[in-house]
Amino acid sequence: MLAQRQPVIVLVEDESAQREVLSYNLEAEGFTVVPATSGDEALIVIREETPDLILLDWMLPGVSGIEVCRQIKARPETRGIPVVMISARSEELDRVRGLETGADDYVVKPYSVAELMARLRALLRRTRPAAMGEQLMFGDILLDAAEHRVYRAGKPISLGPTEFRLLSTLMEKPGRVWSRESLLDRVWGRDIYVDTRTVDVHIGRLRKALMREGGDDPVRTVRGAGYALG
């Protein structure tokens, strides 16, 4: 049972051999890979998929990797997505750094695939802790993503799979207000048609389960917006 949707990585690389090697390794890590072969395609794909991380080649036909990165970091909806830039030469890398594109990390070709994977895992542990099998705490609630268990005030809480995914999504970003649509995308998946009222039903079940042994309701209903933790 997966704690959440596996992290989605948009891989922007125009050279097919590079793309294949990286796709293979990323999928072996358990990530979902969405490829893009140009800067223009990348900008469309990123808007549609809202990925968890973007692996971006600097040299691309048309819109360059730097420009793609600048646009990602300029839009509020995509600003928070970590971007790892790949460049062919260290001089290019210096330029990338000098341009302050807002990339979160940089890798120079030829790079060690093992090192690149380690860097991606480190970034994702910060931004998608539940999906990476980390333990999350919120107040007296402990969620162990690797063990797939939840405790409140030290007592085990029994949750259905959907309620578990809902809680892990909320616990990854306490205070963030999630719309019903964004919860549907994250918890049920983008390709499944589910009525937004289904979210309310499962939030109700989650609340009931969390309060069964006492304690306050940790889930806040934000009128007209959605739900948040705390």
**Residues lying near Ca ion in the complex (CB under 5 A):** 14, 57, 59
Q: Which of 189, 191, 141, 138 is nearest to 165 (CA)?
A: 189
- Residue 32: CB minimum distance to Ca ion, A: 22
Of the two residues 2 and 59, which places its CB atom closer to Ca ion in the complex?
Answer: 59
CA distance 187 to 14: 32
Helix, strand counts (H, E) of the chain: 8, 11
Minimum CB distance to Ca ion, residue 82 (Å)? 20
How large is the C-alpha radius of gyration of the chain?
19
Q: Distance between CA 62 and CA 58 in Å, rounded?
A: 11
Least separation in angstroms between residue 42's CB and Ca ion is 12
Contact call for residues 72 and 105 (beta carbons, < 8 A): no
| Of 56 and 132, CB closest to Ca ion | 56
43 within 8 A of 71, measured Cβ to Cβ = yes
- Shortest reach from residue 93's CB to Ca ion, in Å: 14
Q: Which residue has its beta carbon closest to Ca ion?
A: 59
Residue (103 or 170) nearer to Ca ion, CB: 103
**Which residue, 39 or 51, is less far from Ca ion as judged by CB?**
39
